């Protein structure tokens, strides 16, 4: 639901901010100070419509950010949302006060998002970056507080300070938009030119339960932040002492997803992923041997990533690595970054397998979701299973036996190094036609 955000510095010395570079060498003599610092030493900043928005973080090493997209726009869940500013974009969400409404500690901060977004635009996994550049005569204590729907990462001068929320763990995402996290940013600031950015991302459609992708009115996105910098070099806290900084990554579980494993992204979490098939649930797992960017006789299937048995098209694991929705075969919609499994003609199971590389406790969340939904084609009808070391932990159906279009699972397990967890899809009613089933599986190590 997010991208990186720039900070609004407030105070008389910051008039004329349109150029994006703010000199505050005289700010110490002009900005009112809290009691905890010498008079005139506090410079505050807050999220608002004066932040510049990018498609990628221009401060991140190796990133080509491109031209700015414009200025951030204030956003609200509903017209009755607490503190909703005049002129803000109203998403029309049915829970207008689901976001943090107590913004007093952040001064003039408001929830913001990218320019040009509308309530009916596609919002799943959208990401933006909001950036502010400024100068400091010297640096003492400094802090930033942040809330986001659903994920946000703070960088100062290109260095990662910390992050909140998640696009993989809905509980972490919920906590991020209903409370403030505090970061100590003083160690990353320098006397002279500085850049602060907040990268924010919206969560997937599964967070809102949309069958065919969500609009912003169903899966809204936003970020809220503010803070203060002591420009007199005073090391003691400014005004309102921030809560305990949460920069440490040790308190956050390391997570990995099946989609990331399929894309072979490195350093994205614990364990490792394999993709393959078996002739039956209790039969040996056989890794897929073939990879391709197209599947024979599949319209609009080019550009997707496929893994299949040698000289066969099914069973198959496939993913949309592009930035656009694809419609393989004209029978389904495959969202950007979405992973799917399709069983074989003779009932072979398509399997995503996670393997532990060290012992420990893990949590598993998984959603199997039927993709066939374009009339006049029939819906997906599959049997789905979560199995640990060859033993079924849970299982069910998609659009069979009274079941709906999705099956979900969540559990916590203690695993040994080398132990496996399988996510398997079978053909359910005896035919493999139209049985593509999306898999959104996450494994977190604690």
Contact 304, 371 (CB under 8 A): no
Q: What is the pLDDT along the chain (446 residues), one digit of tens a residue?
A: 433 333 334 332 232 233 333 333 323 222 222 333 444 677 888 999 988 999 888 877 766 667 889 999 999 999 888 888 999 999 998 888 888 766 666 778 999 999 999 999 999 999 999 999 888 888 888 889 999 999 999 999 988 889 999 988 888 888 888 888 889 998 899 888 999 999 999 999 888 888 788 999 999 999 999 988 888 766 655 554 444 444 443 344 578 899 989 987 544 568 899 999 999 999 999 999 867 666 655 555 567 888 999 877 889 999 988 888 888 877 788 888 899 999 999 999 999 999 998 888 888 889 999 998 777 888 999 999 999 998 998 999 999 999 999 998 888 788 888 999 999 999 999 888 889 999 999 898 87
Angle at alpha carbon of residue 116, lines to 111 and 117, rounded to 5°? 60
| CA–CA gap between residue 425 and residue 139 (Å, rounded) | 56
Asked if 341 contacts 439 with a C-beta cutoff of 8 angstroms, the reply is: yes
Q: What is the pLDDT of residue 294?
A: 60
Rg of the chain, C-alpha, whole Å? 24
| 255-445 CATH, one of 1.20.1540, 1.10.287, 2.60.120, 3.40.50 | 2.60.120
**DSSP reduced 3-state for 19:** helix
Q: What is the pLDDT of residue 341?
A: 96
Q: Is the pTM of this model over 0.75?
A: no
Please tell me the predicted confidence (pLDDT) of residue 64.
65
DSSP-based three-state secondary structure for 173? helix
Nearest Cα neighbor of 57 from 128, 108, 118 is 128
Provide the residue ranges of all domains of the chain, joining segments of one domain with +.
Answer: 3-250, 255-445
Q: Classify 390 in phi/psi space as left (phi over 0), alpha (psi -120 to 50) or beta.
A: left
Residue 55, phi then psi, degrees to nearest 5: -80, -25
Neighbours of 96 (CB within 10 A): 18
Q: Report the C-alpha dihedral over residues 155, 157, 160, 163, rounded to 10 degrees.
A: -10
Task: Report the pLDDT value the prediction gives residue 424, as an integer from 0 to 100.
Answer: 97
Helix (H) or strand (E) holding 259: helix 258-262
H helices of 293-372, where? none
For residue 85, report the phi and psi dihedrals to the nearest 5 degrees.
-80, 155
230, 41 in Cβ contact below 8 A? yes
How would you class 169 by CB atoms within 10 Å of its CB: exposed for 0-12, middle for 13-18, buried for 19 or more?
buried
pLDDT at position 15: 27
Q: Provide the CA 199 distance to its chain's centre, in angstroms.
A: 10
pLDDT at position 415 is 87
């Amino acid at each position: 639901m997010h991208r990186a955000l720039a900070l609004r510095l407030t105070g008389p010395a910051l008039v004329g901010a349109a150029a994006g570079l703010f000199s505050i060498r005289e700010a110490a003599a002009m900005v009112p100070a809290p009691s905890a610092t010498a008079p005139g030493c506090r410079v505050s900043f807050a999220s608002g419509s004066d932040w510049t928005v990018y498609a990628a973080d221009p401060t991140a090493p190796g990133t080509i950010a491109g031209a700015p997209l414009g200025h951030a726009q204030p956003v609200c869940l509903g017209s009755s949302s607490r503190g909703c500013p005049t002129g803000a974009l109203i998403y029309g969400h049915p829970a207008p006060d689901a976001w943090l409404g107590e913004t007093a500690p952040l001064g003039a901060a408001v929830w913001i998002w990218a320019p040009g977004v509308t309530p009916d635009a596609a919002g799943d996994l959208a990401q933006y970056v909001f950036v502010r550049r400024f100068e400091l005569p010297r640096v003492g204590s400094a802090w930033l507080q942040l809330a986001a729907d659903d994920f946000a990462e703070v960088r100062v001068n290109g260095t990662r300070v910390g992050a909140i929320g998640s696009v993989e763990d809905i509980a972490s995402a919920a906590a991020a938009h209903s409370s403030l996290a505090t970061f100590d940013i003083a160690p990353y600031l320098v006397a002279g030119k500085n850049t602060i950015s907040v990268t924010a991302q919206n969560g997937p459609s599964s967070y809102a339960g949309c069958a065919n992708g969500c609009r912003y009115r169903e899966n809204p996105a936003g970020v809220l932040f503010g803070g203060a910098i002591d420009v007199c070099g005073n090391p003691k806290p400014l005004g309102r002492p921030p809560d305990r900084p949460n920069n440490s990554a040790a308190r956050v579980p390391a997570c990995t997803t099946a989609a990331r494993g399929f894309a072979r992204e490195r350093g994205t979490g614990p364990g490792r992923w394999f993709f393959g098939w078996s002739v039956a649930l209790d039969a040996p797992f056989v890794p897929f041997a073939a990879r391709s960017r197209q599947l024979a006789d599949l319209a609009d299937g080019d550009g997707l990533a496929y893994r299949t048995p040698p000289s066969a098209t099914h069973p198959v694991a496939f993913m949309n690595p592009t930035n656009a929705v694809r419609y393989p075969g004209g029978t389904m919609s495959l969202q950007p970054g979405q992973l799917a499994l399709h069983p074989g003609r003779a009932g072979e199971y398509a399997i995503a397998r996670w393997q532990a590389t060290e012992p420990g406790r893990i949590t598993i969340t998984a959603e199997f979701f039927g993709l066939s939904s374009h009339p006049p084609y029939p819906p997906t009808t599959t049997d789905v299973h979560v199995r640990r070391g060859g033993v079924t932990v849970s299982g069910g159906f998609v659009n069979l036996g009274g079941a709906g279009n999705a099956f979900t699972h969540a559990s916590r397990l203690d695993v040994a190094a080398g132990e496996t967890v399988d996510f398997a899809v079978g053909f359910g009613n005896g035919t493999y036609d139209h049985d593509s089933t999306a898999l959104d599986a996450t494994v977190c190590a604690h």
